[in-house]
């Protein structure tokens, strides 16, 4: 390899003045097979950058001859990481060399000062409003030339993925630029019959698994006469081939199959499932818990119908977690007053838990975790987020795992109907993309 690090000064911008934004890219997870975030190490083959490098060098060669001894400097003024810069730099060397450019090496043997380069190439990896822009400046005896190239970002180049600690597993199922409210995975990839349903503010999309990739099979608009609330919430439930979609003031039902039939109607009083426990049958009599979402707000109104709570009245809440940890069948409500409240068999508050986010979900007992509750972090939409397992003991909330981190706010956290995992939608603040993840507890690792 002709790469000579000593001869190529790279100046990393000390102040990354511009936040790298990649949201114009629709970042779809092309491989639909679930892939844990722990496994998502950024690996970039050189070829990802070869095409724009080739184009830049082509433009440069059109402006001036590149033949002769020269120096190359690569300056990073955008937020590409060092590994990407190294790949670009290597590709630049290859492309320049193919046009007669000979990189002058540093005199490592102390034999004296080398002659000044005939060609001085400086490539700045810059960024503007629209995205990346690479600028090559060439100084030679015939003068100075500047060429520029707006560059798209190859898919897969994004902010580094957060890595879960061993006890909570995050499996990224899907990414998209469009806001996402909920998702459902029907069947288990890599089964060819697996189906992915993605709920967005204005539509529900259905994807089939074909050759290890999700392909759009159908989509259906969600008609709504009234404006959506700003902090829009939605929920998908799938049971025995039947689909239920809950939106503020709207309820849609349909069946899964080759022909998609989805019927939506106004439903201001529709009771939403708020926890995953035994929700497969979707009614109180079968053990689910239901509440009514204010159709013009982002919270559930005061009544929670569940075996644990009976028909008790509560203050409005964002989320509920039903526990089975002891005989009193407690319920935790993430209240709109920013504190989580423990209710043990009625509307009386028996404990407050502070510092929690507004989304919580209870899962089934797993290993050492008894009635675990997944809890999002506190903060707001401008900060990164976490999900962490808590257990309730003696009316105290005990953190039972390290938190797993997200590169932006977790906007949705619903327990799955089987109670073994939870669905999370988060927004990556660096890329802007929405990410659908399955959160499960993997004790024993």
Partner 1 sequence: MKRRAFQLLAVVSMGCCALTLRSARRPHYGGTLRAEVGAAVLSIDPAFPTDTAEQNNVREKLLALMCDRLVTLEEHGQPKPALATSWQAAAGYKLWSFRLRPNVMAQDGAPLTADDIVSVLEAANPRWRIAAATNPDGSTMLNIELPGADPSLPAELAMPRNFVFRRSANGSLVGTGPFQVSAWQAGHQAVFSAFDAAWQGRPFVDSIELKMGRAVRDRLIDLETGKADFVDVPPDEARRAADRGARIRASLPDELLSLEFSRGPRAAEDPAFRHALALSIDRSALVNFVLQRQGEAAGSPLPQWSSGTAFLFAAAPDPAQTKQLAAQFQSVPALLLGYDGANALEKAVAERIAVNAREAGIHVNVQAESGAGNTFDARLVRRRMISPVPRIALTDLLLQWAPLEGADIAPLSDPAAPEDLYARERAAIENDRVIPLVYLPETFGLSARMRDWKSPLPASGDGWPLAQVWLEGEGP
User: Looking only at residues 217 through 246 of this chain, which bind partner 1 when binding is defined by CB under 8 A?
Assistant: 225-232
Length of the chain as a residue count: 445
Which residues in the 38-67 window bind partner 1 by CB under 8 A?
none
Distance, CA of 435 to CA of 175 (rounded, Å): 4
Give the C-alpha separation, 300 to 123, whole Å: 55
Residue 12 binding partner 1, by CB under 8 A: no
Using the minimum distance from each CB to partner 1, give the nearer residue, 65 or 402. 402
- Residue 101 contacts partner 1 per CB under 8 A: no
Site string for partner 1, 68-97 (x = CB under 8 A): ---------x--------------------
Residue 133 makes contact with partner 1 by CB under 8 A: yes
Report the C-alpha dihedral over residues 93, 136, 119, 82, rounded to 10 degrees. -40
C-alpha 66/C-alpha 88 separation (Å) is 18
| Beta pairing partners, 351 | 342
Nearer to partner 1 (CB atom), residue 213 or residue 384: 384
Q: Does 26 bind partner 1 (CB under 8 A)?
A: no
Using CB under 8 A, which of the segments 50-58, 110-118, 211-219, 399-407 binds partner 1?
399-407
Structure tokens at 292: 């009514």
User: Which of 238, 331 has the CB closer to partner 1?
Assistant: 331
Q: Can residue 21 be called a binding residue for partner 1 (CB under 8 A)?
A: yes
Q: Which of 203, 395 has the CB closer to partner 1?
A: 395
Site string for partner 1, 157-176 (x = CB under 8 A): ---------xx---------
Asked whether 20 and 80 are in contact (CB, 8 A), the reply is: yes
One symbol per residue from 258 to 297: x for binding partner 1 (CB under 8 A), - otherwise; what is it? --------------------------------------xx
Binding mask 323-352 for partner 1 (x = CB under 8 A): -----------x-xxxx-----------xx
Question: Up-side HSE of residue 221: CA atoms within 13 Å toward CB?
Answer: 3
Bridge-partner residues for 157, per DSSP?
none
9 binds partner 1 (CB under 8 A): no
- Binding part of the chain for partner 1, among 44-52, 148-156, 323-331, 417-425 by CB under 8 A, reads 148-156
Lookup: tokens for 365: 């007992």
Nearer to partner 1, 269 or 381 (CB): 381
How deeply is 1 buried, as exposed, middle or buried, from its count of CB atoms within 10 A (0-12, 13-18, 19+)? exposed
Q: How far is the CB of 316 from partner 1 (least distance, A)?
A: 5
Task: Provide, rounded to whole angstroms, the least separation between the CB of residue 398 and partner 1.
Answer: 5
Nearest of 327, 282, 326 to residue 306 by alpha carbon: 282
Torsion region of 390: left, alpha or beta (phi above 0 gives left; psi -120 to 50 gives alpha): beta
Identify the CA nearest to 168 among candidates 410, 412, 375, 23: 375
- Candidates 269, 326, 396, 418; binder of partner 1 (CB under 8 A) is 396
Angle of helix 47-63 relative to helix 82-97, nearest 10 degrees, comes to 50
**Which among 121-129, 155-163, 187-195, 276-284 is the span making contact with partner 1, rule CB under 8 A?**
121-129
List binders of partner 1 among 365-384 (CB under 8 A).
367-369, 376-382
Cβ within 8 Å of residue 161, ≥6 positions away: 37, 40, 42, 172, 407
**CA torsion, ordered 273, 276, 278, 284, to nearest 10 deg:** -30
* Residue among 68 and 229 whose Cβ is closer to partner 1: 229
* Phi, psi of 62, deg, nearest 5: -75, -20
Q: Which is nearer to partner 1, 289 or 366 (CB)?
A: 366
CA atoms within 13 A on the CB side of 420: 4
Using CB under 8 A as the binding rule, whether residue 395 contacts partner 1 is answered as: yes
Minimum gap (Å) between residue 194 Cβ and partner 1: 26
Which residue, 92 or 360, has its beta carbon nearer to partner 1? 360
Nearer to partner 1, 168 or 256 (CB): 168
Q: How far apart are CA 125 and CA 80, in angstroms?
A: 8
Q: Is 117 in the site for partner 1 (CB under 8 A)?
A: no
Q: How many residues bind partner 1 (CB under 8 A)?
A: 78
């Amino acid at each position: 390899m002709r790469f000579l690090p000593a001869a190529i000064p790279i100046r990393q911008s000390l102040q990354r003045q511009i936040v790298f934004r990649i949201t114009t890219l629709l970042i779809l997870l092309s491989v639909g097979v679930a892939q844990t975030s722990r496994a998502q190490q950024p690996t970039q083959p050189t070829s990802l950058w070869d095409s724009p490098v080739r184009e830049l060098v082509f433009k440069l060669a059109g402006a001036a001859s590149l033949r002769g001894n020269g120096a190359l400097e690569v300056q990073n003024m955008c937020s590409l990481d060092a590994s990407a810069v190294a790949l670009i730099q290597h590709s630049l060397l290859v492309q320049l060399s193919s046009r007669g450019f000979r990189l002058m090496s540093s005199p490592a043997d102390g034999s004296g000062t080398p002659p000044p380069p005939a060609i001085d190439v400086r490539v700045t990896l810059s960024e503007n409003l629209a995205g990346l822009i690479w600028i090559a400046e060439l100084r030679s005896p015939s003068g100075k030339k500047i060429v520029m190239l707006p560059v798209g970002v190859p898919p897969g180049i994004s902010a580094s993925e957060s890595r879960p600690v061993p006890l909570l597993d995050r499996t990224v199922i899907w990414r998209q630029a469009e806001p996402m409210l909920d998702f459902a995975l029907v069947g288990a990839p890599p089964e060819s019959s697996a189906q992915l349903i993605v709920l967005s503010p204005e539509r529900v999309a259905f994807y089939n698994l074909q050759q290890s990739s999700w392909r759009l099979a159908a989509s259906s608009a969600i008609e709504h006469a009234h404006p959506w609330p700003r902090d829009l919430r939605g929920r998908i439930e799938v049971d025995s081939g039947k689909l239920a979609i809950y939106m503020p003031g709207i309820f849609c039902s349909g069946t899964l199959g080759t022909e998609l039939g989805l019927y939506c109607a106004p439903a201001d009083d529709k009771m939403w499932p708020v926890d995953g426990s035994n929700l497969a049958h979707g009614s109180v009599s079968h053990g689910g818990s239901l509440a009514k979402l204010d159709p013009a707000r982002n919270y559930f109104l005061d009544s929670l119908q569940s075996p644990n709570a009976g028909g008790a009245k509560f203050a409005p809440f964002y989320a509920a977690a039903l526990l089975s940890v002891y005989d009193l069948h407690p319920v935790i409500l993430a209240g709109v007053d920013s504190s989580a409240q423990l209710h043990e068999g009625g509307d009386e508050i028996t404990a407050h838990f502070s510092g929690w986010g507004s989304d919580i979900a209870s899962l089934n007992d797993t290993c050492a975790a008894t009635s675990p509750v997944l809890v999002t972090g506190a903060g707001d939409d401008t900060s990164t987020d976490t999900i962490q397992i808590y257990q309730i003991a003696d009316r105290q909330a005990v953190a039972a795992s390290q938190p797993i981190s997200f590169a932006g706010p977790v906007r949705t956290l619903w327990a799955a109907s089987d109670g073994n995992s939870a669905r999370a939608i988060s927004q990556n603040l660096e890329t802007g993309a929405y990410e659908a993840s399955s959160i499960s507890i993997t004790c024993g690792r």
